[in-house]
Structure 1
Amino acid sequence: MTKKGGESCRDDSYGCHGAASISVLGKMRRERSREEGRLYGFLNFLKKLVGKDRRLIGKGDRSLGQDQQNWNNGMFLDGYLMEALNTDADADADADVDAKSKIKQCRNCTTKYRGFLDMGRLKIANFEIFCLKAYAHDYDYSYTAECLKNPLKPQYNGGIVVNSELNDGLNGWSLAGDAKIKNNVSSDGNKFIVASERKGPNHGFSQTFQLDKDKFYVISGWVQVNHGDDTSIAVIFKTQDGFQHAAWVIAKSGCWSMFKGGLANASGPAQLYFETNNTAIDIWADSISVQPFSQEEWERHQNQSIEKVRKSKVAIQVVDSQGKPLPNATIALEQGRADFPFGVAINANILDNTAYQNWFFSRFKVTVFEDEMKWYSTEVTQGNVNYSKADAMVKLCKSKGVAVRGHNILWDNPKLQPNWVPALSPQQLSIASDKRVESVVAKYKGEIFHWDVINENLHFNFFESKLGPNASTHFFRLASQFDNTTMFLNEFFTIEKTYETSSPANYLKKIKQLRTEGYGGPLGIGLQGHFSLPIPPYIRSALDMLASAKLPIWITELDVTNSTNQVKFLDQIIKEVVSHPAVEGVLIWSGWKRYGCYRMCLTDNNFKNLPTGNVVDKARVTLSHEGLVGITNAEGYFETSLFHGDYKAIVAHPSVPKSFQYNFTVTPNGGSDHVKSLSYKFTTV
């Protein structure tokens, strides 16, 4: 919803931590001054009974004197959220409650109790206690790249930000550096903060937070500038360890642009800043949110997303030839085609290495070649094109039923061209590069899926510097003439770290440029994923931003640099990207080489898994349900949750002489929260 001046942006739904929560509904008779203290004491009493790791929601009379606004909007006391709500319940003076006993019972109960509690002169009527299933804050995957007249409401009601909508003047905000800050009001009543007359890039307004090193922080909000377009603004936290970039946004004048980012591995006091190098620019901000999540909450989001987006509930019934249910039938499931591809890169070493082949082809159904399709591999000298290695690898993969992703047609890095290319004149380069595009794309049409058209052209601009600013669009349009597969951009440091050049904001800007300049064909977002120190909330927020383009997103070259935490980080990253609703496939960048892989090996030279290989195997087994066997119940049913894709069910029962097979497909349920099981009935022959 759009934010408007002076309106409260609180909603009526709040998350509760822990294994149980208590909701107290009732009508509180008004008492003044001294009696308010009794009520607060009672609420704290309830808090202690519930336990410090649980959150209490209390709903009662809104009119508590001087603190009425806190009650209207929801109040935090020592980290426990209490909200007031009027009810029409009547007092029942005859109903007395042992509240302490009932609340203690409620930690594990499923019953309700309704009565009356007398606390001296302060009476709480129709006191109702019941148990609810606990829930933490749900994650908000939303982001819009549209520049809006008014900002939307802050995500998570602002989280831990004080005065996130600037409806209370400059409360919570302070001056940072040499600048002027003020609270402004637009013509339609929207309030926001302005930093002007800035003497330094990060001079302006700031707010300080106490951060917990075990928490993940999602940062979002809206910015505008007073003049000009495409002003790059960094959202930065000054922590005890220095400045940490949390997000980048491209701001405009005349409308509001949203930013989204993340912060982790920070503790103690941290100051939020907004930075742009052009000090003549006034920075405006509004609807700012900083939301902490525990790591348990974060993992819960991942599991919820996987169950909702990647999997469906399945019920399989086995019956005999007369239609009678067969209990204790064994159902072994084998996945064929997977809706979510998960694979590993290979290289030419696989062609004459049986052990390498056995390891790889027993595990994966999708791959990409590290170097064998690149221009510097196929045309070492001008005019002598040689696809022999790539051909042999494509043939081998095809014989094993493994799909091959195309990487890459051209590379914008000037240092990674065929040796003879940099010396070409612009006209010669234009002819040579066009020939390259036609040659490789036409040759492998129908044999590969996807093409990385011009690799890393947010970081580099070799072809643009020689052929003009529209070179990328030209190559996308040309490639699409020879194959209608999806043509991809492919970048590093978009999700790996908060790097301005290839930030999600700049990636979206590049997509817009391609479309504006006339490329209207299938387009995809490739994210390489070469990690050192992952920042999970930044990864997720970056994917949220890119998802707004509504294009397929693939993690194309995932690896983690060799370090003490390599295995932990790899597992963490795989879970993060697999669980994100917008990601459609993952490829691990780990082609085997005898003397060392690019950055990360999965096996030793005898093709025994290293710890990194075990992480990848665990993910693969989870996604494919390898080894899953179920037993039917008394009604002949076996129920489970399966990743979307094609399956073969091998069914056996003591009453049937031999096992029999059925093929079936598990399809998405459209993301509905009301999950219905897909039902299949297998009849013995």
Structure 2
Amino acid sequence: MKGGEKNKQVIHQLLLLSALLFSGLEASALSYDYTASVECLENPHKPQYGGGVIINSELNEGLEGWSAFGDAKMEHKISATNNFVVAHSRFQPFDSVSQTLHLENDKLYTFSAWIQVSEGKTSVRAVFKTKSGYKHAGSVVAKANCWSMLKGGVTVDESGPADLYFESNNTSVDIWVDSISLQPFTQEEWKSHQDESVNKMRKRKVRIQAVDTFGKPVANATVSVSQKRLGFPFGCAVNQNILGNTAYQNWFSSRFTVTTFENEMKWASIESTRGIEDYSIPDAMLKFTKSHGIGVRGHNVLWEDPQYLPRWVDSLSTNDLKNAVTKRIYSIMRRYRGQVIGWDVVNENLHFSFFESKLGARASELFYAVAQMIDPTHTMFMNEFNTVEESRDSKATPSKYLEKLRSIKSSRSNTNLGIGLESHFGSGAPNLPYMRSAIDTLAATGLPIWLTEVDVQSGGDQAKYLEQILREGHSHPKVNGIVMWSAWSPQGCYRMCLTDNNFRNLATGDVVDKLLHEWGGRVEGKTDVNGFFEVSLFHGDYEVNLTPSTGLPSSSSFKLASTDGEPHQTTLLVRNS
């Protein structure tokens, strides 16, 4: 970058800093933009947040603030509707355009840009080169002749300069870039986004009135409201160890409203020997969950990873495999339809492709069509890892996930699809801006989204990171439910336990109880002069008890669900003693 451009960048950032310092509360009130586009458009949208800290975000000032990266040639172009920058003559994946920025390690950065390529379609990634390494902010499958939105996010390990650039393994294409945005948020601002979303999407105002037998308001009565069941589906995986284990059953059933059987519904568990099916264990587990009102996700009908299939499957001929798969789908789904709340039809079909390699590229599409026919009333999920937890995994990016969804949806019978995000996080700090932006992108489909297998690799900050991830998922307005992957086993859990072998909470279990208390619990107060007590409560089932200073106590129950924002009102009658 030339000296004049560097000076302009410094001035720009100083002005931005001054604006933030002097705007006081307005700066901390900057809302998060959850919008994203999954369509390839004729014209790009305006940059989010006005471009944030990006210089010349709409390329209206020529190439000011931008420079060539690697050996690429850079060119400014003007169309009938917008200005943009083109990186051409590319010989290596990182040959593109770049802007140098100053990033801070205590900030969370949300990123977006609109990308086009000169021909065909190919993945384009946004990367920040920092002193401590390369940070991948996100990627998109870009196409020729239309603009695609790349939305992502990044945090850095240490403050300092960072070079933003774009890369693609396909060096034969030119990369076009427009409407770039990088918006920093403080930790406090990020939390305020969560709080704002929770108050809007997960809570509702409640007005309780106490009146006497003549309909007159009763003031100064004590009102106690207790949540009996959380409305937001929140749960944990479970396995056959819960059968006959009273301590495990009590700990589990007192906390969770949804679950997934860790292995017991999988094909390898049901039919380890060809032609001999044994459903006794999942039947018994379903009996337990039903008795406690716990919903069960059907996991999974088929798994594309061959190491988790019955051993006899691999040696089948194409025709025998097709028949075996069809029998498997019909067998489990007919048995449990109406008893589960949704199905993971094909597990991890972005990373693995056993069935598609044997039965053709349209295999997943056909499996979902059969599943939808058998159980048309429930949602048929994809279920994949690394879509929200790892920005470097090119196989499972939101853009790749969407491509697979479109392929499955191309069958007209596949109309009731859902997005399952496993969410197996590593031991390092989670990239929350990337997680949020990935969900934003997938949410643009309008399909239901669940975090299906949440856990964090063992490490010193495991509980801290679990809390961050659960809060991020729960607060996102388009996440419909969360299941953790922490089924208990005396030999140890998959990656993350919530209790010890005596069902005493570990630090991770304490996080769960802390959040459950925060999302429910009990509130108490007094009625005002008009007999009203008002409070904002999380969606769920509640019991309310009223104790007047004179007269008999009374009680009632109510269910609080999402509506258009109108307060829920409950009236309690106070009878004379």
TM-score under structure 1 normalisation?
0.79
1:683 to partner: Cα distance: 1.7
Is 1:604 the equivalent of 2:497? no
Pairing partner for 1:554 from 432, 450, 466 = 450
The counterpart of 2:72, out of the listed 154, 175, 179, is 179
Letter in 1 for 2:401: Y
Identity of aligned residues (%): 50
Structure 1 residue 336, shift from structure 2 partner: 4.5
Change (3 A) 1:412 1:134: closer
Q: Tell me the equivalent position of 1:265.
A: 156
**Structure 1 residue 669, shift from structure 2 partner:** 4.1
Distance (Å, rounded) in 1 between the aligned partners of 2:288 and 2:227? 21
Q: Secondary structure of 2:509's match?
A: helix
Choose the corresponding residue for 1:340, options 229, 232, 235.
Answer: 232
Does the CA-based 8 Å contact 1:604-1:610 persist in structure 2?
A: yes
Q: Which amino acid aligns with 1:251?
A: A
Q: Please give the residue correspondences for 1:34-113 in structure 2 after superposition, counting only pairs within 5 Å.
A: 77=15, 79-81=17-19
Give the Cα–Cα distance (whole angstroms) in 1 for the partners of residues 372 and 411 of structure 2.
Answer: 15
2:521 is aligned to 626
Whichever residue aligns with residue 410 of structure 1, its letter is L
User: 2:208 & 2:253 partners in 1: Cα distance?
Assistant: 30
Matched residue, 2:3: none
CA contact (8 A) 2:368 2:414 kept: no
The residue type paired with residue 130 of structure 2 is: T
What does 1:525-536 correspond to in 2, within 5 Å? Answer: 525-532=419-426, 533=428, 534-536=430-432
* 2:279 pairs with 1:279: no
* Partners of 1:342 and 1:620 within 8 A in 2: no
1:640 matched residue in structure 2: 535
Partner Cα distance (2:270, 2:25) in 1:
64
Write the deviation string for residues 559-613 of structure 1: whole angstroms up to 9, x where unpaired. 1011011011001001100000000000111111111100000011111111100
Q: Partner of 1:678 in structure 2?
A: 568
Is the 2:123–2:139 contact (alpha carbons within 8 Å) kept by the matching residues of 1?
yes
Question: Which residue is equivalent to 1:4?
Answer: none
Q: Describe the shift of the 1:578–1:78 C-alpha distance in structure 2 as closer, same or farther (beyond 3 A).
A: closer
Alignment CA distance shift 1:473-1:222 (3 Å):
same
SS in 1 for 2:328: helix
- Equivalent residues of 2:372, 2:413 under 8 A apart: no
Match of 2:215 among 323, 343, 347: 323
1:582 to 478, 490, 493: 478
CA apart distance, 1:219: 0.7
Matches within 5 A, 1:9-408: 77=15, 79-81=17-19, 135-186=28-79, 188-229=80-121, 231-266=122-157, 267-336=159-228, 338-408=230-300
Alignment partners' CA distance in 2, 1:162 and 1:602: 46
Using the alignment, how far apart are the partners of 1:215 and 1:500 within structure 2?
Answer: 25
1:650 Cα offset (Å): 2.4
| In structure 2, C-alpha distance between the alignment counterparts of 1:486 and 1:517, rounded to whole Å | 15
* Cα offset, 1:475, TM superposition: 0.9
The residue number in structure 2 matching 1:128 is: none
Task: Name the structure 2 match of 1:650.
Answer: 545
User: For structure 1, which segment, 322-331 or 606-615, has the greater mean C-alpha deviation from structure 2 after superposition?
Assistant: 322-331
Letter in 2 for 1:489: M
Write the letter of the residue equivalent to 2:61.
D
More moved, 279-288 vs 326-335 = 326-335
Deviations 1:136-166 (A, max 9, x none): 3210101011111111100000001010100
State the aligned residue count.
559
Deviates more, 1:191-200 or 1:259-268: 259-268
Quote the residue 2:304 is aligned against: 412
1:668 is displaced (CA, Å) by 2.6
1:426 offset after TM fit, Å? 1.2
TM-score by length of 2: 0.94
CA distance in 1, matches of 2:477, 2:244: 39
Task: Give 1:367 shift.
Answer: 1.2
Structure 1 distance, partners of 2:411, 2:124, is 26
Task: Report how far residue 530 of structure 1 moved.
Answer: 0.4
Greater shift after overlay, 334-343 or 383-392? 334-343
Q: Which runs of 5+ in 2 are unaligned?
A: 1-7
Cα 1:75/1:406, change in 2 over 3 Å: closer
The one-letter code sitting in structure 2 at the alignment partner of 1:559 is D
Equivalent-residue separation in structure 1 for 2:295 and 2:568 (angstroms): 28
Shift of 1:174: 0.8
For residues 512 and 636 of structure 1, the distance between their equivalents in structure 2, rounded to whole angstroms, comes to 55
CA distances 1:634-664 after superposition (whole Å, capped 9, x unpaired): 332221111123322222234233x332222
2:5 counterpart residue number: none
RMSD value over aligned CA atoms? Answer: 1.9
- Secondary structure of 1:77's partner? helix
1:563 equivalent to 2:459? Answer: yes
Aligned partners of 1:144 and 1:545 also within 8 Å: yes
Mapped to 2, the partners of 1:182 and 1:407 lie a distance apart of 51
Gaps of 5+ in 1: 1-69, 83-102, 108-130
Residue type at the aligned position of 2:570: Y
Tell me the alpha carbon deviations over residues 347-385 of structure 1, each in whole angstroms, 9 at most, x when there is no partner. Answer: 100102111011111112211110111111111100110
